[in-house]
Amino acid sequence: MDKIKEMSAFVDAVDQGSLARAALAQHVTPVMLGRRIDALERRLGVKLLHRTTRHLALTEAGTLFLEHCRKLLADLEVAETIVSEGRGEASGHLIVSAPAAFGRLHVAPHAPPFLAAHPKVRISFNLTDQVVDLVREGYELGIRIGGVLDPSFVAVRLASNRRVVCGTPAYFERCGIPRTLDDLARHNCLAFNLQGGQQRGWYFQKDGRPVTVKVDGQLDCNDGELLHRWASEGLGLAWRSTWEIQAQLEAGELITVLDDYALPAYDIMAVYMQQRHLPARVRAFIDALKVAYAQPGYWTRGAR
């Protein structure tokens, strides 16, 4: 067992780029993690890492040993998964990445009942509007809304969704209704800035082909909930998902425009790396979200 802990410490230190981050991922102190790597190097009789306070670098022996460690730990995970699934139980540590607002409203709230049904699982969430590298940053599962996916990932559709341009009736009465994509240049468009990771523009389709429109306005930010609030206050147009504005659309508080140019689908998906044996905890959490989102009226209730 100590050998497994030592190899796991070594691999995490390389993947995380520092002992501190690796220790945080393993829920131990940096000193303890460093001792495990020291013990591994003493047992092997070789130096695996050159370590400074700010930098880690693999030695030649470390580079060779790293791939063997990865394979061994992956095979161990597969073996545990097979046995766990044979018992019909979900167990282990599920690490999930999700968009910030969506994660707070529609992912994290489903964790307590899921854990009550699967007490051998524990869950860690990273809620951010930045698109994270699931594999490099160690996430088993990512929740994504629309966008292009890496072909090495499996995508499971959780719920339908569309991305639409919207504003309040008062805003349209004051500023007029855009009829074409070119009209957006004459409107106050509320958009993510560079820090929000969406600086390329808003995505549409025109004549059956995808197009990107660079928009501009008096306000921008890196927070989707703030953009939603500004649009609800009549300050401008926003490009939002139907999952978050459905209740306001039904109440007439927001109105969509340019619907003929909207992408046909911007669905909510669960994504994970292709693998021979999907851990039971991942499959069970995906199934739990699908069941929750399929409840009649869920998105109207959730948006309020």
12 or 150, higher pLDDT: 12
Q: Do both 169 and 143 map to the same domain?
A: no
β pairing state of 220-221 and 209-213: unpaired
The neighbour count for residue 229, using CB atoms within 10 Å, is 13
The 10s digit of each residue's pLDDT in 55-78 is 788 999 999 999 889 888 877 876
Q: Which residue among 29, 55, 85 closes a domain?
A: 85
Return the higher-pLDDT residue of 138 and 289.
289
Asked if 186 and 251 sit in the same domain, the reply is yes
Residues 197 and 282 in one domain: no
The angle that helices 224-232 and 242-251 make with each other, rounded to 10 degrees, is 10
User: b/e for 237-254, b at 16 or more Cβ within 10 A?
Assistant: bbbbbbbbbbbbbeeeeb
pTM of this prediction? 0.66
Average pLDDT score, the chain: 87
Q: Domain ends where: 85, 104, 133?
A: 85
Give me the amino acid identity at 290.
K
pLDDT at site 81: 64
Q: Which residue has the tokens 């945080």?
A: 24
Count Cα atoms within 13 angstroms, Cβ side, for 6: 15
Helix or strand or coil: residue 94?
A: strand
Residues 21 and 74 in one domain: yes
Tell me, what CATH number does 120's domain have?
Answer: 3.40.190.10
Residues 113 and 81 in one domain: no
Q: Is the same domain home to 233 and 169? A: yes
Contacts of 225 (CB under 8 A, 6+ apart): 100, 101
Q: How far apart are CA 5 and CA 35, in angstroms?
A: 11
The mean-pLDDT minimum among 64-68, 114-118, 250-254, 284-288 falls in 64-68
Domain that holds residue 70: 2-85
C-alpha 199/C-alpha 260 separation (Å) is 23
The number of distinct structural domains making up the chain is: 3
Residues 138 and 189 in one domain: no
Give the pLDDT confidence of 43-60 residue by residue, as tens digits: 999 999 988 767 788 999
202-216, 244-258, 264-278: least confidently modelled range: 264-278
In this predicted structure, what is the pLDDT of residue 196? 43
Predicted confidence band at 88 (pLDDT cuts at 50, 70, 90)?
Answer: low
User: In degrees rounded to 5, what are phi and psi of residue 274?
Assistant: -60, 135
Write the CATH number for 44.
1.10.10.10
